[in-house]
Amino acid sequence: MAVLATRAWLGAQRVAIQTEMTGGQQSSQTVVVAAKPLLFGNRIVASDLATMSWPAEILPVGAFTSVDAVVGTSEQDARYVISAMATGEPVLASRVSSPGQRAKLSTVIAPDMRAVSIRVNDVLGVAGFVLPGDRVDVLLTHLPQSQDDSGAYVDMLLQAVKVVAVDQSSDDQSDQPSLVRTVTVEVTPLEAQKLTLAGSIGTLSLALRNVGAAGSEAHERVTVDDLGLSAPPDLPPVEQPAPRPAAIDEPSSTVGIGVVRNGSRVEYQVTPWDAARP
């Protein structure tokens, strides 16, 4: 709400300064303004609005000149807030839905752009400090399938993409951080394809940008070697034990002698005379 109040105050100051500079000798135009804070998703009714004189030379683009043009006459041509407004702030066509169109995410996406959701956690989502309206860089972390992590890398996939929703909220005036599960960003069709593919081969994370930093910056792939980690020391080779000698069968000191008695053969083991000698 502090953001809304500041915006309304700046608008009033701009009108006052312009009037003072022209000595009050300027034409004015009736402009519809918010009579109270208007939040995302609210249906706009006549009691939400007021009119005031506005210098015609600095009339905001998309301003309405009558309350009826905003509220319509029935449910079929009612308008809804798609971007929150503070008390006294001009009601602009870009901040309300088209007649009969409810406030939904598709109404805040720019023409020829797409909305793609990224699954995050409390770390990948910058601890919940990413809010609708912020701009973020999208990073891709790829880990190899093998046990060796030398092939791991992080790439800058996209830069300065606009966040249009956090979880299921697209209120761009919310200033309260919260832990989220998905962040929806506005991208081109080609960037939407890249995000979808990248999410299937690695992990996507977000880097929150400064509010005024919307341009692209030079970047490069970061690998494990770039971390400057020292390699583990080489271990001495392990000595293999010598193979055991093959066992040698000792020759038998006895021989078998067969004796036939009554038709039956019986074998006896006897020691030869040479083997029995000391």
Q: Give how far Cα 33 sits from Cα of 14, 36, 88, 204, Å.
A: 15, 9, 5, 42
pTM exceeding 0.85: no
pLDDT digits (tens, 9 = 90+) for 251-265: 666 777 777 777 778
β-strand partners of 26: none
**Residue-level pLDDT at 269:** 76
> What is the C-alpha to C-alpha distance for residues 103 and 80, in angstroms, rounded to an integer?
6
Fold of 2-103: Type Iii Antifreeze Protein Isoform Hplc 12 (3.90.1210)
Q: Give how far Cα 209 sits from Cα of 139, 205, 213, 222, Å.
A: 13, 13, 6, 19
**Residue-level pLDDT at 124:** 61
Cβ–Cβ < 8 Å for 218, 198: no
**Residue-level pLDDT at 195:** 93
**Residue-level pLDDT at 91:** 94
Higher pLDDT, residue 96 or 167? 96
Cβ–Cβ < 8 Å for 44, 38: yes
Higher pLDDT, residue 40 or 174? 40
pLDDT digits (tens, 9 = 90+) for 59-87: 899 999 999 999 988 878 888 888 888 99
CA nearest to 191, candidates 104, 108, 112, 105: 112
CA atoms within 13 A on the CB side of 225: 3
pLDDT exceeds 80 at position 19: no
Q: What distance lies between CA 25 and its chain's CA centroid?
A: 53
Residue 41 DSSP label: T
> What is the C-alpha to C-alpha distance for residues 139 and 185, in angstroms, rounded to an integer?
13
E strands, 22-112, are 28-34, 49-55
